Structure 1
């Protein structure tokens, strides 16, 4: 059989004990797809803007996008990749208001660049168990979010630091029904952790135990959870030039247990701690996703790819942080056990993403890639935009290449620039003592990725 550069696969020759180092490496905290979903589950898809993600099945990372695609792989394959993500998010003030009386020290400033630069790695292994059955495992980070503001920052009582990380362990099976149809399924054991820090209030607070300098004090919420989900996929090949894929990943419900802790200037620290420290939890339902993909080889050199995906973000509405123990001196109802200490009003909506891409076989060793995509934000309005997630509609422009040094190895390179529509914010938390943040965000994202895949 002659090797086709666009389809090299036709050339046939106790989980909770995961080490802390692995959690730190793979539990990355970024947000590149709309909301805080991470599309960077491989680097090989960056060059085509992840068009055809559930149909391509050209390396072991298909375990995440469509487990049925393992039937297109050889006896054993590994895929190791990483994506460097650079995010810029700069706030422009347009009438933010803290509500404090004149002459009272309060919060001000634009907070600098709230974006970060981080690495999102992933790892996959698949193997052929029988002529019709494949098994595999993937380790990745499906969701993540990180924003961090510099001082001074007018929105510090909304959030100064917000960091959500996930780690997903995804054992999977695929069954080849016949030469045209394959099915796959997997289970997901997912860890999520949250680290949230904000200034307690925009102004000092008179209390029975004295006037507390809450504009110079902070409260943090740290919590984590492990939970289960599942995913399924189907791959249909009416002929050797056409592949159609559909995959579904379930929603995963998490209950994050942790604590609320305060810090304050030395003189006020004991009093602030007395009214703020307690156990706490929050519940969040990470969204389900559906992907429909196609890959069509036009001729020996060209292959076109398409992708439509849906994410059920309306599972994320009001996120309540609830105390599990009373503070030492509860001077307000929110200090009692079972009381809601704070509510993050996300009010997300469901979203769609569409992508188109193409591969061009330059020669037997090199394939060039390109892609475009449009990704709608789940943030519904300026009034529900959170300073921890200043998200906007996104347009992807991607390019990349694949190098095949030998019959068993592939190295993928990808580069993408994501244009983010300016994001308006008009989040009013004056009644809660956190002020009004009004203005807009100027944001942009760069992605660079490398992935090594090998059959053996």
Structure 2
């Protein structure tokens, strides 16, 4: 085994450290960064390109294009920015007295922060027709955090969702043109939600409600790949909904005045929720225009309407509700690769990504999401016929995002706008034995 091969095998387990890191870059809280080799193309052609073992996530049928034993591991670094500007928000109402709570700091700083999303894959050709694979990634993630005293603290101070997905897969080569694939998904989810609760007595410090839950669930995925001509390939894939029922604790901390039997310094109770993470479908095409140029296209759909709201229950009753009314969304991406020589390939891509949030009155402070445009650039370097390194960069542009969230009047009304953008960097190392 070569020194480079040994390095690749040792690097992949290291990349798994930190899997599940929260982020938010694709519309909603879906993470497209299941490889870094697709970043340079804005993930155009994702279900048809099959250039390394990460095809296990986007289309398991693509494993039939990978002879031998293939490993691929990558890391994406994501830096979202969500800066709120107030234009008439109102503070929450104190329970019992009905008096308004302190407005605090109106804007709350930048709610975004750096996050790392690693991935790792292995595919193995069993014989001429059968292929097996295993993929590990984080398909959903979210992290927003504001200053403790911002105007919208009664809606959200911190909200994070982290997932880990383990995806054993199989593919079958029907003939020289048609391949099919399938996978099973075990997915773990962890959530952390914190918000302020106005103290009923004026002049007292806000109380804080903190919900921490986790759980796991199962799903499945299918893929088909068809070689239309020697130069054109089409891929179609589908990933099922995954219904999670996480549970954990709801803690309410009171740093202000206490009332025996009514307002203790700390109260902890059980908490649970139910959420169906959306299903997705991708139609992709890859076309070799000539020896230098490869064109890629992608049309994908995400069933975000599976999340109309999020109820957090405690002691058999609804303790908090996030009204969302997410809509199903579409994403379209176009890309091109220019093969400079046997070593270098330059990648580029553009995409338009719909947001599941399309109502200013329901836009949550925990997910100040809007439609966005991707502009991407990347490069691929081949050390030899077996080892490839990809790097990519994407800038996501989002127009000014309005918010007028009055879905829970007792929490106050958050009214204003967000200035948002995302910078995305990635590196992927792939090797064939």
What is the TM-score normalised by the length of structure 2?
0.92
Out of 238, 253, 266, the position equivalent to 1:263 is: 253
Partner of 1:249: 239
**What is the aligned length?**
415
Could you tell me how far apart the structure 1 residues matched to 2:78 and 2:265 are?
40
Residue correspondence of structure 1 range 51-70 to structure 2 within 5 A = 51-70=44-63
Q: Please, which of 105, 111, 114 is the counterpart of residue 111 of structure 2? A: 114
Q: 1-side partners of 2:15 and 2:381: how far apart?
A: 28
Q: d(CA) in 2 for partners of 1:346 and 1:277?
A: 26
Indicate yes or no: 2:337 matched with 1:359.
yes
Cα separation, 2, equivalents of 1:436 and 1:110: 13
| Matched residue, 2:8 | none
Question: 2 CA distance for matches of 1:369 and 1:388?
Answer: 34
Structure 1 counterpart of 2:293: 302
**Which runs of structure 2 are paired with 1:384-395 in the superposition (5 Å)?**
384-395=362-373
Aligned to 1:314: 305
Q: 1:164 to 1:99 in 2, by over 3 A?
A: closer
Q: Secondary structure of the equivalent of 1:229?
A: strand
Residues 92 and 154 in structure 2, CA contact (< 8 A), matched pair in contact too:
no
Q: Distance in 2 between matches of 1:387 and 1:189?
A: 30
Pick closer, same or farther for the CA change 1:258–1:22 going to 2, 3 Å.
farther
Measured in 2, the distance between the counterparts of 1:42 and 1:185 equals 19
Alignment match, 2:428: 451
Could you tell me the TM-score, scaled by structure 1's length?
0.88
Alpha-carbon offset, residue 239 of structure 1: 2.8
Q: How many Å separate the matches in 1 of 2:398 and 2:69?
A: 39
Matches within 5 A, 1:139-178: 139-178=136-175
1:87/1:242 CA distance change after superposition, 3 Å: same
Match of 2:86 in 1: 93
CA separation of 1:70/1:96 partners in 2, compared to 1, >3 Å: closer, same or farther?
Answer: same
Show CA shifts across 1:4-55 (max 9, x none).
Answer: xxxxxxxxxxxxxxxxx99861112111110000000000000000000000
SS at 2:35 equivalent: coil
Task: Give the CA deviation at 1:276.
Answer: 4.7
Work out whether residues 15 and 119 of structure 2, in 8 Å CA contact, stay in contact via their aligned partners in 1.
no
Once the 2 structures are TM-superposed, how far is the Cα of residue 354 of structure 1 from its aligned partner?
Answer: 0.0
Could you tell me whether the CA contact under 8 Å between 2:86 and 2:107 is conserved in 1? yes
Q: Does the CA-based 8 Å contact 1:263-1:272 persist in structure 2?
A: no
Contact 1:78 1:455 in 2 (8 A): yes
Please give the per-residue CA displacement for 1:106-132, whole angstroms capped at 9, x wherever unaligned.
Answer: 433211000011111000000011110
**Cα separation, 2, equivalents of 1:424 and 1:114:** 16
* Alpha-carbon contact 2:254-2:266 (below 8 Å) kept: no
Q: In the alignment, what sits opposite 1:284?
A: 275
Where do 1:373-452 residues align within 5 Å?
373-429=351-407, 431=409, 433-452=410-429
Deviation at 1:387, TM superposition (A): 0.2
Q: Is the contact between residue 382 and residue 425 of structure 1 (CA under 8 Å) also seen in structure 2?
A: yes
CA distance in 2, matches of 1:71, 1:408: 17
**1:39 & 1:104 partners in 2: Cα distance?**
40
2-side partners of 1:22 and 1:216: how far apart?
A: 40
**Structure 2 match to 1:184:** 181
How well do the aligned residues superpose, as a CA RMSD in angstroms?
1.9
- Mapped to 2, the partners of 1:230 and 1:272 lie a distance apart of 46
Task: Name the residue aligned to 2:316.
Answer: 338
Name structure 2 gaps, 5 residues minimum: 1-13
Distance 1:176 1:402 in 2: 28
Query: Displaced runs of 4+ in structure 1, greater than 3 A?
Result: 21-24, 99-108, 266-276
SS in 2 for 1:382: coil
Q: What SS is found at the alignment partner of 1:348?
A: coil
Q: Is the 8 A contact 2:131 2:170 kept in 1?
A: yes
